[in-house]
Amino acid sequence: MKQQRPLAITGGRLITPDGPRDATLRLVDGRIDALGQEPRDGDDIVDAKGHLVAPGLVDLGVFAIDKPAFHFGGITRAALMPDQSPPLDLPSRVSYIAKSGKPDFWVHPLAAASRGLQGREIAELALMREAGARGIATGRQWIADSGVMLRLLQYAAMLDLVVFAHAEDATLVAGAVATAGEIATRRGLPSAPAQAEAIALTRDIALAEMAGARIHFRQVTTRAGLDIVRSAKARGVKVTCGITPAHFMLSDLATVDFRTFARLSPPLRSEPDRQAVREAIADGTIDVVASGHDPRGPEDKRLPFSDAQPGMAGAETLLAMVLSLVRDELIDVQRAFELVATAPARILGVEAGAIASGFEADIAIVDPDKPWVIQSARMEATAGNTPFDGQPTQGRVTMLYKGGMRINP
């Protein structure tokens, strides 16, 4: 699939790294050719009708690829976690995944940090980088052995690959399904202290600083953890962190009725921690908002809360939830797309995620005011387990382009 004719998108509000602007956008040979030029003879012309013309979203750290769901949500690229069956711990598996979504969706595999994701023996990272890996990930687990983690970070620094780490001390959270506190106690749920996150962050940031490595924490969900990341950034550590919409929209109050759609990893936190996450999005401590897309079918969710598997279908609701922060005046629209497109692309090292000359023509035309109701039964994902089921929201993609070619969202 290759763009045959130049395309000019007119009548839209471009979301650029320098701020929104009313201008025409030309796409040529699958790349962004120019901003602000008038259409030329022979151009195909699309009228954006006053809507936002934004970069296609880059979803940083998903567990499954559901192309229809990603297209619905305006996502044109996703970094796939290595927690697959079998895990992405061999170059052949990484190479297969790197080619799997093309041409209308690009999957950027993250190589398993250790063989079998067991946290003991470091995998063949250099060979997996050559096969197409855009980063290294510990998966859903924390590497408990500090020596192994340090060697991993040193190896990653040598290869100039970012390490995606899970921020929970495994020995403290083993068997837990909730955050320790009043809600978990009243419901009798196995719980772990929120401090498990801060402990993991403290160690891994110290090791990354020793190794001179880049480290990204897929989710940081507590005030204590965010303070640690904020402090590390201030002293120059190469650390970034993310969050999913569930942790800035919901607190552990969402688990009071034992609804397993709210069974997540990390578990939902207290209301003060939820507010701390929103503050960290506003002040720039949080770099990325990702969907955490991990759809789970009835066999995993129609169980007692303690037995259900964590995870949610998040691709279709990511953009709408982030745009809710704009409506709440917590962030502006430029910052919204920095969180879901520009920063993730920068971390992966791909020329996408921004409307800039020469970048790949992955473009979403978004009606930020279009109302719709989230309905799990009508989701495009393989399973519709969302904690936002039944929630009215706003913001939908009306047109989506991958490499300058139209994809119907």
Asked whether residue 37 is domain-assigned, the answer is: no
Residue-range definition of the domain harbouring residue 285: 56-353+370-393
Asked whether residue 255 is domain-assigned, the answer is: yes
**pLDDT for 298:** 87
The whole-angstrom separation of Cα 289 and Cα 92 is 30
pLDDT in tens, 100-147: 988 999 999 999 999 999 999 999 999 999 999 999 999 999 999 999
First to last CA, the chain: 17
* Residue 370 contacts residue 295 (beta carbons within 8 Å): no
pLDDT in tens, 318-337: 999 999 999 999 999 999 99
DSSP secondary structure of 285-312 = S--EE---B----HHHHSS-TTTSPP-B
Asked whether residue 310 is domain-assigned, the answer is: yes
Q: What is the tally of structural domains in the chain?
A: 1
Token reading at 73: 């949500």
Element of type H or E holding 275: helix 271-283
Query: Which residues neighbour 345 within 8 Å (Cβ) at sequence distance 6 or greater?
Result: 55, 58, 77, 351, 352, 353, 354
Asked whether residue 3 is domain-assigned, the answer is: no
- Which pTM was predicted? 0.95
Asked whether residue 363 is domain-assigned, the answer is: no
Asked whether residue 361 is domain-assigned, the answer is: no
Asked whether residue 18 is domain-assigned, the answer is: no
Q: What is the CATH number of the domain that holds 66?
A: 3.20.20.140
Burial of 38 (0-12, 13-18, 19+ CB in 10 A): exposed
The whole-angstrom separation of Cα 388 and Cα 395 is 15
pLDDT in tens, 216-257: 999 999 999 999 999 999 999 999 999 999 999 999 999 988
Asked whether residue 236 is domain-assigned, the answer is: yes
Within 76-194, residue ranges assigned H as helices are 91-100, 125-130, 146-159, 170-173, 182-187
The whole-angstrom separation of Cα 84 and Cα 80 is 9
**pLDDT for 406:** 95
Residues of the chain with pLDDT under 50: none
